[in-house]
Amino acid sequence: MLTAKQQQLLQFIHERLSQNGVSPSFDEMKDALGLKSKSGVHRLINALEERGFIRRMANRARALEIIKQPDIHATVSAAPSNVISGNFGASPAPVSEPDVTDIPLHGKIAAGTPVEALERQDSFISVPNSMLGRGDCYALEISGDSMIELGILDGDTVIIESVTTARDGEVVVALVDREEATLKTFKKDGQHIVLIPANRDYETQILESGRVQVQGRLVGLIRQYH
């Protein structure tokens, strides 16, 4: 059984392959399904691949192959409203999107001494929409304890809205010297940028403004208790 969105995507890929032999791009899939981000498409593609409906063809961009189609004779008994049997001959029933969005999880960022931000393009995390900013967002794992007095602890996951400017007092992802990223409170002081920790054991950094590039601002935090 497939969810309505999974079947809708499978049908869309099937139609495009039948028309011109080329699978649609992630942007085209996103628009066709009315999704907010390509990360949602990524999640659906993974689900279809895991269930054996499609296969990604190695060393070829935008190359998807449909291996099988849902059993059109299958029926669903006492199933949730968002799970349906496959039928390429009919439009899938509309289903409301969950109140969450998948955003990229880009690895670890220092909340102490700056470290390189590790990019992991294939990792995503589901976040409540109420936690997201107005623009594109991504998540980072916190490494270090320099922001503990603001309640940001080692091992936390922070939600960052992509921005290039910041106001004094905002907690930002700052890229220092174009290669190292850190999470600190932002303050502008003339021709300098001040990056302020929230731990008295760490020193404030005062850097020439040309050495610092704002890459996002903190809009949310997720903590797991073990």
List the domain range (segments joined by +) for residue 204: 102-222
CA distances for 224 relative to 57, 77, 191, 193, angstroms: 37, 36, 40, 33
d(CA 23, CA 58): 14
Out of 5, 184, 188, 209, pick the active-site residue: 184
Look at residue 212 and tell me whether its pLDDT is greater than 90.
yes
Residue 221: HSE in the Cβ half-sphere, 13 Å Cα cutoff? 14
* Torsion angles phi and psi, residue 120, rounded to 5: -130, 90
Q: Which pLDDT belongs to residue 1? A: 57
Q: Are residues 27 and 62 in the same domain?
A: yes
Active site residue 36: no
Q: In the structure encoding, which two tokens stand for residue 214, read together?
A: 């704002």
59 located within any domain? yes
Beta bridge mates, 194 = 187, 206
28 located within any domain? yes
Out of 5, 108, 146, 162, pick the active-site residue: 146
Q: In the structure encoding, which two tokens stand for residue 122, read together?
A: 């294939």
Q: Which pLDDT belongs to residue 157? A: 92
Which CATH number goes with the domain that contains 30?
1.10.10.10
Which range in 91-100, 105-114, 137-146, 187-196 is most confidently predicted, on average pLDDT?
Answer: 187-196
Q: Which pLDDT belongs to residue 194? A: 97
Q: Are residues 61 and 149 in the same domain?
A: no
Give me the mean pLDDT over the 21-32 stretch: 84
Active site residue 146: yes
User: What's the pTM value of the predicted model, to 2 decimals?
Assistant: 0.57
Q: Which pLDDT belongs to residue 114? A: 59
Q: Which pLDDT belongs to residue 79? A: 37
Among candidates 88, 55, 91, which has minimal Cα distance to 74?
A: 88
Amino acid at 129: N
Percentage of the chain beyond pLDDT 70 is 78
Q: Could you count the other beta carbons within 10 Å of the beta carbon of residue 24? A: 21
Look at residue 96 and tell me whether its pLDDT is greater than 80.
no
Domains in the chain, number: 2
197 located within any domain? yes
